[in-house]
């Protein structure tokens, strides 16, 4: 493929993609928000099959040579001569405020994580460029790809991964991973099976190594101010009829005693209507057996959840809530932060969202009103059967290695060291992952492959210790979290700021007690499309999703009748949805 053609392709992709750099798998760790990745795809390069086959053969030979040169395939083997590896990355306010501000003298380019790689592996990290924010990173990464001015190692979206493969710019990594990955690394990165690896694979060859993350961490939970429930002598709702009765009671109760009709029944963030932050409505839809934004299986075929008839039923219920005054009349222009301000001000006591919400909007509520209490519960049901909750695949980035980089095994060694330091027997989670003084210190590492089940396992370890009446034997991440809970239970001013952690990992009802129950009962529905975005997805899905959100919002506020949902479904299919569904099913059948 000619460079000019590549430039047009990459620049076009930059307009529809949103990504996170190697500098953060945000997500679903113990707390940070996981943003929805926009879908996209690649365009096949001319003669790509031949190029990929030659590329894979060359990489395999190169890897074998490295093994001989190092004397062994030691997963933690240190290079005798310093090895310089060039990366690129993004940063954000949380890194500047929560991490570097608490580590005097350390920077993104000079910190203890980089020192660790240099001291233990002989690897010196150099950043060719650092930008702030996902959008700027995405734009700069696409320009770098188009000009073929690439670092040695980069973390990219599935779309970009395939574009790099088709252009012959990256090397095969499957055999290198198999040879150099430590046993514990393989165990950790395969906790969710092969799904995280699929989007980094083409024609049976593994090019991208997944930056693994937890899928169950992305589910929506039902968050309720239980102190309000207690004042009204009401039970936790299990059906949507009971939810509506609770919302009505909340709106009419005037808990702040100001005599004004200013309580919001359910928080909704119109600009993130299907996101996982406060005010997202995925959990609400899930209560009706609707799964917008993910692909689900019906009769052996993949179907796009947002155009299924169950969504129409949920939209009708939302419109009814809007008409009754249960929703903020201006929700359509508010993001999750703005929507969350109502909870902090004591004006809203109910909503849906992910497990970490107690750390931000609800902690602010607690700070303003010590008597307030928020708890996380399973999604209620409107169907008569227990509701399942949708989840995104926790992996949304892949590590790509420049075809010209002579030491691909070094990347795997870095992955080994990161995982071992954070969760291995010889590591120290309280130092390398989440020390009390700098919660997100793991973000300083250029490599951040996570343990997908780490959060739910930490909860189970803590809960077992609680039941035994002795938490002193806890180790690793479970100990780091328990230390936070102990600080909260101490009643100190410093501990009060950790109330949000107790609501995530404390006794039921808490985030992970609920997620564990959902997991054990088989009520978590993970997106069934986990491959690299198809051609039509890249070209049209972003536009179709914008249309979806606009139609949904218009139906909720009454600017369009509920039956316009049927017109939306027809338009969705005509404008590319039918082709996308066909391509998704072609991929699905190929991996069965």
pLDDT tens readout for residues 512-561: 999 999 999 999 999 999 999 999 999 999 999 999 999 999 999 999 99
The number of C-alpha atoms within 13 Å of 186 and in the hemisphere containing its C-beta is 11
Distance between CA 65 and CA 75 in Å, rounded? 16
pLDDT band for 72, please (50, 70, 90 cuts): low
User: Do residues 26 and 166 touch, judged by C-beta distance below 8 A?
Assistant: no
What average pLDDT does range 56-60 have in this prediction? Answer: 43
pLDDT band for 434, please (50, 70, 90 cuts): confident
Distance between CA 196 and CA 208 in Å, rounded? 10
The owner of tokens 């392709």 is 9
Question: 96 and 187 share a domain?
Answer: yes
Burial of 138 (0-12, 13-18, 19+ CB in 10 A): buried
Distance between CA 480 and CA 474 in Å, rounded? 9
* pLDDT digits 0-9 by tens, 215-230: 999 999 999 999 999 9
- Torsion angle of alpha carbons 343, 349, 354, 358, nearest 10°? 60
Question: 203 and 55 share a domain?
Answer: yes
Q: Residue 573 domain-assigned?
A: no
What average pLDDT does range 249-264 have in this prediction? Answer: 94
Question: 462 and 509 share a domain?
Answer: yes
Rg of the chain over all Cα atoms, to the nearest angstrom: 24
Question: 403 and 383 share a domain?
Answer: no
Burial of 250 (0-12, 13-18, 19+ CB in 10 A): buried
Q: Residue 592 domain-assigned?
A: no
Q: Which H or E element spans position 225?
A: strand 221-225
Q: Residue 225 domain-assigned?
A: yes
Question: 64 and 133 share a domain?
Answer: yes
* pLDDT digits 0-9 by tens, 343-397: 999 999 999 999 999 999 999 999 999 999 999 999 999 999 999 999 999 999 9
Measured from the Cβ of residue 437, the count of other Cβ atoms closer than 10 Å reads: 9
Q: Residue 83 domain-assigned?
A: yes
Is the pLDDT at 155 greater than 60, yes or no? yes
Q: Residue 548 domain-assigned?
A: no
Token pair, residue 347, equals: 């004006």
Q: Residue 362 domain-assigned?
A: yes
Question: Cα-flanking dihedrals φ and ψ of residue 549, to 5°?
Answer: -65, -40
Distance between CA 448 and CA 182 in Å, rounded? 16
Is the pLDDT at 158 greater than 90, yes or no? yes
Domain that holds residue 307: 218-387+527-532
Question: 211 and 225 share a domain?
Answer: no
Is the pLDDT at 267 greater than 90, yes or no? yes
**pLDDT score recorded for residue 437:** 84
Question: 341 and 421 share a domain?
Answer: no
Question: 302 and 177 share a domain?
Answer: no
Question: 300 and 265 share a domain?
Answer: yes
Domain boundary among the residues 532, 549, 583 is at 532
* pLDDT digits 0-9 by tens, 28-38: 344 433 333 33
Question: 351 and 411 share a domain?
Answer: no
Residues in the chain, overall count: 592
Token pair, residue 503, equals: 């609501």
CATH number, domain with residue 412: 3.40.190.10
User: Do residues 528 and 295 touch, judged by C-beta distance below 8 A?
Assistant: yes
* Helix, strand, coil percentages, rounded to 5, for the chain: 50, 10, 40
The total domain count for the chain is: 3
The owner of tokens 């993001």 is 335
Question: 188 and 92 share a domain?
Answer: yes
Strands (E), 250-382: 295-298, 301-304, 350-353, 374-377
HEC letters along 370-402: CCCCEEEECCCECCCCCCCEEECCCCCCEEEEE
Token pair, residue 362, equals: 């609800």
Q: What is the pTM of this model?
A: 0.85
3-class DSSP assignment, residue 125: strand
Distance between CA 481 and CA 435 in Å, rounded? 10
Question: 79 and 92 share a domain?
Answer: yes
Q: How far is CA 37 from CA 12, 21, 395, 553, 579, in A?
A: 16, 12, 10, 21, 20
* pLDDT digits 0-9 by tens, 466-500: 999 999 999 989 999 999 999 999 999 999 999 99
What average pLDDT does range 156-182 have in this prediction? Answer: 96
Token pair, residue 57, equals: 């053969």
**pLDDT score recorded for residue 438:** 87
Q: Residue 583 domain-assigned?
A: no
Distance between CA 154 and CA 189 in Å, rounded? 18
Q: Residue 41 domain-assigned?
A: no
What average pLDDT does range 585-589 have in this prediction? Answer: 96
Measured from the Cβ of residue 25, the count of other Cβ atoms closer than 10 Å reads: 24
Nearest-CA neighbor of 25 among 541, 357, 510, 418?
Answer: 418
Distance between CA 114 and CA 22 in Å, rounded? 14
Distance between CA 283 and CA 384 in Å, rounded? 16
Token pair, residue 377, equals: 């519960």
Domain boundary among the residues 532, 559, 586 is at 532
**pLDDT score recorded for residue 34:** 37
């Amino acid at each position: 493929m000619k460079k000019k053609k590549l430039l047009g392709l990459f620049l076009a992709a930059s307009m529809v993609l949103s990504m996170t750099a190697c500098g953060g798998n945000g997500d679903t760790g113990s707390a940070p928000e996981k943003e929805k990745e926009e879908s996209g795809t690649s365009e096949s390069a001319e003669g790509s099959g031949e190029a990929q086959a030659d590329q894979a053969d060359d990489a395999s030979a190169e890897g074998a040579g490295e093994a001989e040169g190092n004397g062994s395939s030691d997963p933690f083997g240190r290079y005798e001569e310093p090895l310089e590896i060039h990366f690129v990355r993004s940063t954000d306010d949380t890194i500047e405020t929560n991490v570097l501000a608490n580590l005097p003298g350390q920077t993104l380019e000079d910190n203890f994580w980089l020192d660790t790689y240099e001291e233990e592996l002989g690897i010196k990290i150099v950043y060719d460029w650092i930008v702030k924010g996902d959008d700027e990173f995405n734009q700069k990464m696409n320009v770098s790809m188009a000009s073929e001015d690439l670092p040695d190692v980069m973390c990219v979206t599935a779309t970009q991964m395939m574009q790099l493969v088709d252009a012959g710019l990256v090397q095969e990594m499957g055999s290198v991973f198999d040879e150099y990955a430590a046993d514990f690394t393989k165990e950790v990165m395969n906790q969710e099976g092969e799904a995280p690896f699929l989007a980094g694979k083409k024609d049976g060859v593994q090019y991208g190594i997944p930056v693994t993350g937890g899928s169950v961490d992305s589910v929506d939970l039902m968050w309720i101010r239980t102190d309000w429930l207690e004042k009204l002598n009401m039970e936790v709702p299990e059906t949507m009829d009971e939810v509506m009765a609770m919302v009505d009671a909340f709106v009419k109760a005037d808990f702040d005693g100001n005599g004004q009709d200013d309580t919001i029944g359910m928080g909704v963030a119109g600009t993130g209507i299907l996101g996982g932050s406060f005010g997202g409505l995925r959990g609400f839809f899930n209560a009706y057996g609707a799964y917008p934004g993910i692909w689900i299986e019906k009769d052996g075929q993949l179907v796009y959840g947002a155009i299924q008839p169950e969504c129409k039923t949920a939209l009708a219920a939302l419109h009814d809530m809007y008409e009754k005054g249960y929703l903020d009349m201006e929700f359509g222009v508010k993001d999750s932060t703005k929507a969350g301000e109502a909870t902090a001000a004591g004006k809203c006591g109910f909503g849906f969202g992910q497990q970490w919400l107690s750390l931000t909007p609800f902690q602010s509520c607690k700070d303003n009103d010590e008597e307030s209490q928020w708890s996380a519960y399973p999604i209620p049901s409107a169907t008569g059967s227990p509701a399942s909750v949708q989840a995104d695949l926790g992996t949304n980035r892949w590590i790509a290695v420049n075809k010209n980089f002579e030491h691909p095994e070094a990347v795997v060694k870095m992955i080994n060291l990161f995982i071992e330091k954070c969760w291995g027997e010889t590591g120290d989670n309280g130092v390398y992952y989440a020390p009390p003084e700098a919660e997100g210190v793991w973000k300083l590492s250029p490599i951040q492959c996570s343990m997908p089940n780490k959060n739910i396992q930490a909860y189970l370890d803590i809960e077992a210790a609680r039941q035994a009446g002795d938490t002193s034997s806890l180790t690793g991440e479970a100990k780091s979290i328990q230390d936070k809970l102990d600080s909260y239970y101490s009643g100190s001013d410093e501990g009060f700021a950790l109330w949000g952690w107790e609501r995530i990992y404390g006794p039921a009802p808490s985030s992970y007690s609920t997620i564990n129950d959902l997991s054990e009962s088989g009520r978590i529905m993970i997106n069934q499309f986990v491959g690299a975005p198809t051609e039509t997805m890249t070209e049209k899905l972003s536009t179709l999703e914008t249309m979806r959100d606009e139609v949904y919002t218009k139906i909720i506020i009454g600017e369009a009748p509920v039956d316009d949902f049927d017109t939306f479904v027809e338009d969705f299919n005509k404008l590319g949805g039918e082709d996308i569904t066909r391509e998704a099913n072609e991929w699905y059948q190929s991996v069965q």
